[in-house]
Chain A
Amino acid sequence: GNSVTQMEGPVTLSEEAFLTINCTYTATGYPSLFWYVQYPGEGLQLLLKATKADDKGSNKGFEATYRKETTSFHLEKGSVQVSDSAVYFCALSKVSGMRFGAGTRLTVKP
């Protein structure tokens, strides 16, 4: 079946550090891939997406590249801020619905 595996947290970084959150997926065919972010007490917000192999999604300094050969969609940011503290979810979407990873909690300290 379709599934997403992302690195376990929590992740704690200092402000301006480099961020990588790993995500790999299992799916038949060609799913769309997403990163969602959830701030405390809120619902999920779409951060970025990629719909086909080698696509790069980007938003607010975050980037992720759809790598079909490694079935990965790792999230990166060159310099994190305190305001980036949240839970990040990797997800895939097919016609049969959306599947999420377990989430990675990021805490950025000043």
Chain B
Amino acid sequence: DAGVTQSPTHLIKTRGQQVTLRCSPKSGHDTVSWYQQALGQGPQFIFQYYEEEERQRGNFPDRFSGHQFPNYSSELNVNALLLGDSALYLCASSFSGLARGEQYFGPGTRLTVT
């Protein structure tokens, strides 16, 4: 049973560019959440997708957008990259039937903005 997978592992972009990160959830999971983890900090909730719609959103600007596909995989898009967007981006999946259940995390994508 494959766990949560993310691609790419590392990414280097220039200020002003756009980036797309990808996530495949754990088998049996239908909900995907995205987090930003700055160096030395805890993960900050960006948003959550369920049934191909954004269900919850944290305190992130509209430059951060996402998508969920019918197979439950998800993408995170960030436009107009800033140096401060450099972080580890974590995807987590869960099952909607457990409203307060645990989330399973992928290994993350390390984004560096220069």
Contacts and interface: CB of A to CB of B under 8 A. Distances in A.
Interface of A: 31-32, 34, 36, 42-46, 49, 51, 89, 93-103
Given A95-B99, A95-B100, A44 B45 contact: no
A31 B99 CA distance: 10
A89 B33 CA distance: 17
Interface size, B (range): 20 to 34
Contacts of B8: none
Given A99-B45, A103-B41, A103-B42, A43 B107 contact: yes
B100 A89 contact: no
Contacts of A94: 100
B81 interface: no
In the A-B complex, the 9 residue pairs with the closest CB atoms: A100-B42, A32-B100, A44-B105, A43-B105, A43-B107, A93-B100, A102-B42, A97-B56, A95-B99
Interface string B2-24: 00100000000000000000000
Contacts of B35: 100
Chain A binding surface, main DSSP class: strand
Contact of B90 (A43, A46, A102): A43
A96 B42 CA distance: 18
Contacts of B56: 96-97
Contacts of B44: 100
A97 B42 contact: no
Contact of A100 (B43, B100, B107): B43
Contact of A44 (B48, B90, B99): B90
A28 to B, nearest CB: 13
B108 A43 contact: yes
